[in-house]
Amino acid sequence: MRYGSVTAVDGLSLTVEPGTVTAILGPNGAGKTTTIETCEGFRTPQSGTVRVLGLDPISDGRKLKPRVGVMLQSGGAWSGARAYEMLRHIASLHANPLDVDALIERLGMQGYGTTPFRRLSGGQQQRLSLAMAIVGRPELVFLDEPTAGLDPQARHATWDLVSELRDSGVTTVLTTHFMDEAETLSDQVHIVDAGQVIASGTPQALASSGAKNTVRFTARPGLDVVKLMHALPHDTKVDEVSPGAYVIAGDVDPALLATLSAWCAGEGVLTESVLVERQTLEDRFLELTGKALR
Ligand SMILES: Nc1ncnc2c1ncn2[C@@H]1O[C@H](COP(=O)(O)OP(=O)(O)OP(=O)(O)O)[C@@H](O)[C@H]1O
CATH of the domain at 216: 3.30.70.1560
| pLDDT value, residue 293 | 80
User: Which residue CA neighbors atom 27 of ligand 1 most closely?
Assistant: 28
Centre of ligand 1 from the C-alpha of residue 62, in Å: 26
- How many structural domains compose the chain? 2
Centre of ligand 1 from the C-alpha of residue 294, in Å: 12
Tell me whether residue 222 is in a domain: yes
- Hey, which of 12, 33, 175, 197 would you mutate to test ligand 1's pocket, going by the most ligand atoms within 8 Å of its Cβ? 33
Tell me whether residue 129 is in a domain: yes
pTM (predicted TM-score): 0.85
Centre of ligand 1 from the C-alpha of residue 72, in Å: 13
Angle (CA) 105 108 111, round 5°? 100
Q: Which domain holds residue 177?
A: 2-207
Tell me whether residue 72 is in a domain: yes
- Hey, which of 6, 35, 72 would you mutate to test ligand 1's pocket, going by the most ligand atoms within 8 Å of its Cβ? 6
Amino acid type, 6: V
> Count of alpha carbons within 13 Å of 31, Cβ hemisphere only?
24
In this structure, the strands spanning 245-250 and 196-201 are: unpaired
Domain co-membership, 195 together with 229? no
Domain co-membership, 66 together with 135? yes
- Name 10's Cβ contacts closer than 8 Å, sequence gap at least 6: 31, 194, 195, 196
Angstrom distance (rounded) from CA 192 to CA 198:
6
Q: What share of the chain is helix, strand, coil (3-state, %, to 5)?
A: 35, 20, 40
| pLDDT value, residue 211 | 59
- Name 146's Cβ contacts closer than 8 Å, sequence gap at least 6: 71, 126, 130, 158, 162, 174, 176
Domain co-membership, 48 together with 122? yes
Domain co-membership, 175 together with 251? no
Tell me whether residue 105 is in a domain: yes
Centre of ligand 1 from the C-alpha of residue 196, in Å: 13
At 47, is the secondary structure helix, strand, or coil? coil
Domain co-membership, 232 together with 144? no
Tell me whether residue 17 is in a domain: yes
| pLDDT value, residue 215 | 93
Angstrom distance (rounded) from CA 225 to CA 250:
14
Tell me whether residue 66 is in a domain: yes
Centre of ligand 1 from the C-alpha of residue 137, in Å: 29
Q: Is residue 166 within 8 Å of 20, Cβ to Cβ?
A: yes
What ipTM, to 2 d.p.?
Answer: 0.97
Domain co-membership, 99 together with 229? no
**Radius of gyration, CA atoms only, the chain:** 24
The CA-atom distances, in angstroms, between 246 and each of 92, 232, 256, 261 are 63, 14, 15, 14
User: Which residue CA neighbors atom 12 of ligand 1 most closely?
Assistant: 8
* Phi, psi for 128 (deg, rounded to 5): -65, -40
Centre of ligand 1 from the C-alpha of residue 7, in Å: 10
Q: Which residues of 175-195 are buried (b: 16+ CB within 10 A; e: fewer)?
A: bbebbebbbebbebbbbbbbb
CATH code of the domain containing 42: 3.40.50.300
Domain co-membership, 102 together with 11? yes
Of the candidates 165, 180, 207, which is a domain's last residue? 207
List the chain residues with pLDDT less than 50: none
Amino acid type, 198: I
Q: Which atom of ligand 1 is nearest to the CA of 4?
A: 4
User: Which residue CA neighbors atom 28 of ligand 1 most closely?
Assistant: 29
Domain co-membership, 184 together with 221? no
Domain co-membership, 134 together with 71? yes
Domain co-membership, 153 together with 230? no
Centre of ligand 1 from the C-alpha of residue 188, in Å: 23
Tell me whether residue 59 is in a domain: yes
Angle (CA) 279 153 135, round 5°? 105
Domain co-membership, 233 together with 121? no
Tell me whether residue 46 is in a domain: yes
Domain co-membership, 129 together with 94? yes
- Hey, which of 32, 39, 44, 74 would you mutate to test ligand 1's pocket, going by the most ligand atoms within 8 Å of its Cβ? 32
Of the candidates 158, 187, 207, which is a domain's last residue? 207
User: Which residue CA neighbors atom 11 of ligand 1 most closely?
Assistant: 8
At 27, is the secondary structure helix, strand, or coil? coil
Residues with CB under 6 A from ligand 1: 3, 6, 8, 26, 28-34
> Which is nearest to 34 in space by CA: 145, 146, 195?
195
Beta strands in the chain (DSSP E): 2-3, 6-7, 21-25, 68-71, 140-144, 171-175, 188-193, 196-201, 213-218, 237-242, 245-250, 273-277
